[in-house]
Amino acid sequence: MEIGKIKLKHGLFLAPMAGVTDIAFRRMCKKYGAEMVCTEMISSRALCYNDRKTKELARISDGERPCALQIFGNDPGIMAESALLALEFSPDIIDINMGCPAPKIAGNGDGCALMKKPELAYEIVKRVKEALSDKDVPVTVKIRSGWDENHKNAVEIAKLCEKAGADALTVHGRTKDRMYAPPVDMDIIREVKRSVGIPVIANGDVHDAKSALEMFEYTGCDGVMIGRAALGNPYVFAEIVCALEKKEYKKPSRQLVKADIKEHITALVELKGEFIGAREARKHVAWYLKGMPGAPVFRNEVNEAETLAQIKNIIDKAFN
């Protein structure tokens, strides 16, 4: 598939996840086959206010490209201005969030709330696209199936986004009300794909090779986006790549997982300093250890650890 000049062999995307998809995590997913990654959600207003923490979230490293930078907000002018400011970080794509269901986002008129205002959604995409018209940076939009079961307007929004100049769409096959509750509605994704001429990426309940192949076949989508299934499991991308290329997939050995955990959390500490990095590493280690013998005990120990060295020692014990 192609988005602007960006060519992707399989169409495998890592979903933006607040508090998760930092540089360290994105690089780990890239290592195992994610073709396009994305920053955490970036506030358009905060970018315009030159907020230091926001600029840290917007950083992109050369080892993870192509990488999208996702912005959110509900003011067309501010969204357009923030898209231009975001170019400081050299994103390969500017993605507009119209799918976040979190109360503090949607409740403020941002994210999925924009789907309740089709004209505003159109104007935001149009203004961002116009702002970037001479920058050769594609604009994509992430939406949901709708606000609730009585207002599933993904097809309408998708057509408006395409008309406004969007280069691709991601559709999460759930309404805002359903949050992340299964099952995903693949019918609405298929309807969107049949209604527009730009690439469509399917999002929701893609957690392994089987579900990815089913999503591709049923919806006709151009790509799939994986979020929660990659937590502690960047190998899900390698599994899907093998399935698409009709190759045998071998699960990672315990020694490889052990080495990857250490690589991941070391990168976190290098990125954010030991005080913050070691504490953020706790949740990632817990995800990696999920389902392993003795996982609850080791998870509790990690939650008490305060340094990278302490966490690495616990990992060594867990994988003995």
Instruction: Give pLDDT, residue 46.
Output: 95
Q: Give tens-digit pLDDT for 104-156.
A: 999 899 999 999 999 999 999 999 999 999 999 999 999 999 988 888 999 99
pLDDT at 50: 87
Interhelix angle 295-304/308-318, rounded to 10 degrees, is 170
Catalytic residue among 29, 100, 112, 221: 100
* Percentage of residues in the chain having pLDDT higher than 90: 90
pLDDT digits (tens, 9 = 90+) for 200-250: 999 999 999 999 999 999 999 999 999 999 999 999 999 999 999 999 999
For residue 183, the model assigns a pLDDT of: 86
For tokens 């060594």, name the residue: 316
Cβ neighbours of residue 268 under 8 Å, at least 6 residues apart? 22, 24, 277, 278, 280, 281, 284
- Tens digit of each residue's pLDDT (9 = 90 or more) over 162-212: 999 999 999 999 998 777 777 899 999 999 999 999 999 999 999 999 999
Beta strands in the chain (DSSP E): 2-3, 6-7, 12-14, 37-38, 42-43, 67-72, 93-98, 139-146, 168-175, 200-203, 223-226
The DSSP string of 222-246 is SEEEE-GGGTT-THHHHHHHHHHTT
Domains for the chain: give ranges and CATH numbers.
Answer: 2-244 (3.20.20.70), 254-318 (1.10.1200)
CA-CA-CA-CA torsion for 91, 94, 100, 105, nearest 10 degrees? 90
Whether 100 is catalytic: yes
Q: What is the pLDDT of residues 300-318, one digit of tens each?
A: 999 999 999 999 999 999 9
pLDDT at 22 over 90: yes
